[in-house]
Amino acid sequence: MPGQVVLSPKGPYDLGLSVRAGFRFSPDKPKAPDLYQAAVRFGSRTSLMEVRERNRNPVSLEVGFRPASSKEKMRELAEWILHTDLDLRPFYLCSRGHATFGPLIKSLRGLIPMRAPSLFVMAVTAITEQQISLVAAYRIRERMIESYGEKVGGRWAFPTPEALARLSVRELKSCGLSTRKAEYIIGLARRITDGDLDLDKIKSLSDADARAFCMEIRGLGPWAADYILVRGLGRTDVVPADDLGLQKLVGLYLGDGKRLTAPQVRAAMEPFSPFRGIAAFYLLVHYRLIKWPENRVEGDAKEQTRRQET
């Protein structure tokens, strides 16, 4: 490809496994089992990003962009999305003697939670997923992306804040959003385009301060803030304990089989600190990819319904 960088992840890294895991949370299937593709932005330019494993031992990743940007920008964005700075070895070390996590980690070795291309994408994703099933939220975002995003190399880039900021609530509601959620998304986009809000600021904040920052944004509550920290920032010790699906799974794997409360989830995950977020991610992926592989998003949509946020 015209623009290419080669990355060397810090610790165990299985690209194919991570791609397959990501698609277990959507109704779609990957185009190829060991290929990661995404439409990404460099300012006003949209590029197709493709990632392949170049070497297995030690692992190196070949990342191409079409059209290309500067090497520095391509490397920075690729490292962010692919989470190559995450070293899983300390997590594996602290979990290897655990009755549940010892075998679980062996089956998912190298699994990496990839990050969204931007915190704006992650914030909008969190807003769409509140109080409805994952599959319904996915279909809403699909309509929003195809209506207001940009297509490159067969992939759709997420709409820019500028594209969403100029919409009316009625226009955005046509994608399937409620009036309130449409207001939240447009309000967020306008604050960013007006220069009133810099989401990237939270990258340098502590977990507690980043969570507080998110919760000051209209439309983001406790669950959404935790979701952004885990999925958007890749914070390894944050657990979205208010997630109903996670409450069920932690009870299934680490409890008596019954759904736990949010405080009980935090208590059950405490032995894995400072990797509680990673541990929760591994539970979710193990359930979907290995334990019950036939349960795609459609199969248990009701269990993925989120708590109401205001």
The predicted-structure confidence for 232-266, as pLDDT tens digits, reads as follows 999 999 999 999 889 999 999 999 899 999 999 99
Domain boundaries, the chain: 3-85, 119-220
Q: In a 10 Å sphere around its CB, with 0-12 CB exposed, 13-18 middle and 19+ buried, how is residue 74 labelled?
A: buried
pLDDT for residue 207: 96
User: 96: how many CB neighbours lie within 10 A of its CB?
Assistant: 11
Contact residues for 260 (Cβ-Cβ < 8 A; gap 6+): 247, 250, 251, 268
Q: 187-200 as b/e, with b when 16 or more CB fall inside 10 Å?
A: bbbbbbbeeebebe
Contact residues for 289 (Cβ-Cβ < 8 A; gap 6+): 20, 21, 24, 108
Judge whether residue 208 has pLDDT over 90: yes
257 torsion bin: left (phi>0), alpha (psi -120 to 50), beta (else): left
Lowest-confidence pick of 64-68, 131-135, 304-308: 304-308
Q: Calculate mean pLDDT across residues 136-140.
A: 92
What is the identity of the amino acid at 280? A
Query: What is the C-alpha to C-alpha distance for residues 102 and 253, in angstroms, rounded to an integer?
Result: 13
Q: What is the CATH number of domain 3-85?
A: 3.30.310
Listed residue (272, 278, 232, 235) closest to 112, CA to CA = 278
The residues pairing with 66 across neighbouring beta strands, listed in sequence order, are 48
pLDDT digits (tens, 9 = 90+) for 146-159: 999 999 988 999 99
CATH architecture of 119-220: Orthogonal Bundle (1.10)
Query: What is the C-alpha to C-alpha distance for residues 223 and 211, in angstroms, rounded to an integer?
Result: 10
pLDDT for residue 116: 93
pLDDT for residue 308: 44
What pTM does this model have? 0.90
Listed residue (127, 136, 119, 121) closest to 310, CA to CA = 127
Find out whether 13 and 112 touch, Cβ atoms under 8 Å.
yes
Is 76 in a helix, a strand, or coil? helix
Please count the residues of the chain.
310
Q: Calculate mean pLDDT across residues 99-120.
A: 94
Lowest-confidence pick of 21-25, 223-227, 290-294: 290-294
Q: Calculate mean pLDDT across residues 124-129.
A: 96
**pLDDT: is 185 or 2 the higher one?**
185
pLDDT digits (tens, 9 = 90+) for 263-310: 999 999 999 999 999 999 999 999 988 877 655 444 443 444 444 444
pLDDT for residue 29: 63
